[in-house]
Structure 1
Amino acid sequence: MTTTALPVPQAPARSLPTWLPLVQGLAIASMAVDHASLWLVSGDIPEILRHTLGRLALPMFCFMVAWHALHSTHARRYADRILGIAILAQWPFMAMHGQPLGNICFTLAAGAYLAAYHRHRDPVALVAGVLLAGFTWLNEYGPLAFFLVLAFMAAIRWPLAWLVPLLTWPVLQYGPSLSAVSAFLGVLLLLALVTTHLPPMRLPRPLTRWFYPLHLWGIYIARGLT
């Protein structure tokens, strides 16, 4: 591939990359489409939206966690925050699924903790990462989502590793399906965005940090009122 490696500096740069807000916005929007189609609106069109636009969210969130985990000044604190979000979101997520299923943020936290250990040799991060990784089979999307985070961490350093999330992961995650095609296109779009210089933009921090638990609680309450 002709793409260049995304730098992983010893001391993270003060300014964030210009692609980050756009990826954040796309991830949030596609996740909202996915969950609204699953829990709020029924019909053929919402189902198609869920298996197309909704499939952009997972690779984008996994990449953002991989990037932040490798660049955050306080890597374990970043992982702690993801774990906190997972805990806050778990009740509405599990209640709406109707089964003991962990939300994706537990899986994302596992990858972030292991990155914190890799960067700082933090034993607490190692223990937390290993424990959370061991339970990914109980979470939404299973262990493959955890390996997707690790694959993106590798891709940030070695561009050829993009072949794993681009060509291998979609079919392993979804099988030969419309969802797999959409996931492939999502990774392709992600690769294009992170290797392109974009105009500066900014999203409100509360939106990017707390949207996941808040929107799940909002959907849960809305379902209870109908």
Structure 2
Amino acid sequence: MLTMLLDHLRYIWPDNGWLFIVGRLAFPMFCLGIAANVARSQTGELYSDNNVRYMCWMTAFAVISELPYRLLSNDSSTLNVMPSLLLGLLITWGAHHRGRDGLILALAGVTVAVLMQERLMYGVFGALLPAALLLAIQRPGLVWLLPAALCVLANSRNRWLAEWELQPYTLLIVITAFVAPLLGLWLLRRLRQFRVWPVKRWGYWFYPGHLAVLHMIRSLG
């Protein structure tokens, strides 16, 4: 959440390019949170009350967040990040619970991601990232390279690559995107060594809330 906030401070301080680099950590960490939550659930229990609430909250804030996102980033060609995370959740459920229903859910999520490719933040690769992180959690080792590669591909659709081509700055972006999932997976394996402050449902409000506050600050400036 902190790296996301720092990333979005670019709308107030556009000359601070390092904020964009730090921001490449945010999306992979949110995807890792989804993967870790799904990994904790019992395989086969797809239709649970917790999953229904999870999907409802994600869907609700995908809608709620669109207006403040559009106000802050009115030149963006994509939706806010929540639809990408929601589709990632559906695909990850399908990969975790398997079976016929899981397969249908995963295929539906991938199909929607493909159809929404141009409007979806981070595109299909971003929607696949939580499922790849789930696989990496379950099978540590070389599998970790899969989410790292997907994260680079997901970020490559941003306009910075077309505008700046391969320069030291863009290489830093690529390296940060590659390292972000690896860093998250490494931290996840060491959770018992330090206490993590749990993020409750107020965390859902942080996304549209901080977008709205930043829009107001920029308008006043």
Aligning the two structures, in what range does the TM-score lie when normalised by the shorter sequence? 0.7 to 0.9
For the residue of structure 2 that corresponds to 1:138, the secondary structure is coil
Instruction: Map Cα deviations across residues 157-192 of structure 1 (whole Å, 9 max, x no partner).
Output: 2224211123x2344233662111112232232122
- Out of 48, 51, 54, the residue aligned to residue 78 of structure 1 is 54
State the partner residue of 2:128. Answer: 147
Say whether residues 1:221 and 2:216 are aligned partners.
Answer: yes
Say whether residues 1:33 and 2:6 are aligned partners.
Answer: yes
TM-aligned CA deviation for residue 115 of structure 1? 3.5
Instruction: Map Cα deviations across residues 88-130 of structure 1 (whole Å, 9 max, x no partner).
Output: 1111212332244211110110121234455383799669735
Distance 1:199 1:107, change over 3 A: same
State the partner residue of 1:186. Answer: 180
| Aligned residue identity for 2:135 | A
Give the structure-2-normalised TM-score: 0.75
| Aligned residue identity for 2:208 | P
Distance 1:179 1:109, change over 3 A: same
Distance 1:114 1:76, change over 3 A: farther
For the residue of structure 2 that corresponds to 1:137, the secondary structure is coil
Q: Which runs of 5+ in 1 are unaligned?
A: 1-27
**1:75 and 1:115 in contact (8 A); partners too:** no
| Aligned residue identity for 1:178 | L
Among all aligned residue pairs of Structure 1 and Structure 2, give the percentage whose two residues are the same amino acid.
Answer: 27
Runs of 4+ in 1 over 6 A off after TM superposition: none
**1:34 and 1:50 in contact (8 A); partners too:** yes
Larger CA deviation: 64-73 vs 81-90: 64-73
Instruction: Map Cα deviations across residues 38-80 of structure 1 (whole Å, 9 max, x no partner).
Output: x11132xx212322x2111111111111222343562232122
State the partner residue of 2:45. Answer: none
Give the structure-1-normalised TM-score: 0.73
Taking only aligned residues, the RMSD between alpha carbons, in angstroms, comes to 2.7
Larger CA deviation: 131-140 vs 215-224: 131-140
Distance 1:124 1:84, change over 3 A: farther
Q: Number of paired residues?
A: 194
State the partner residue of 1:92. Answer: 68
C-alpha distance in structure 2 between counterparts of 1:87 and 1:187, whole Å = 27
| Pairing 1:139-178 to 2, within 5 Å after superposition | 139-159=120-140, 160-166=142-148, 168-172=149-153, 173-174=155-156, 177-178=171-172
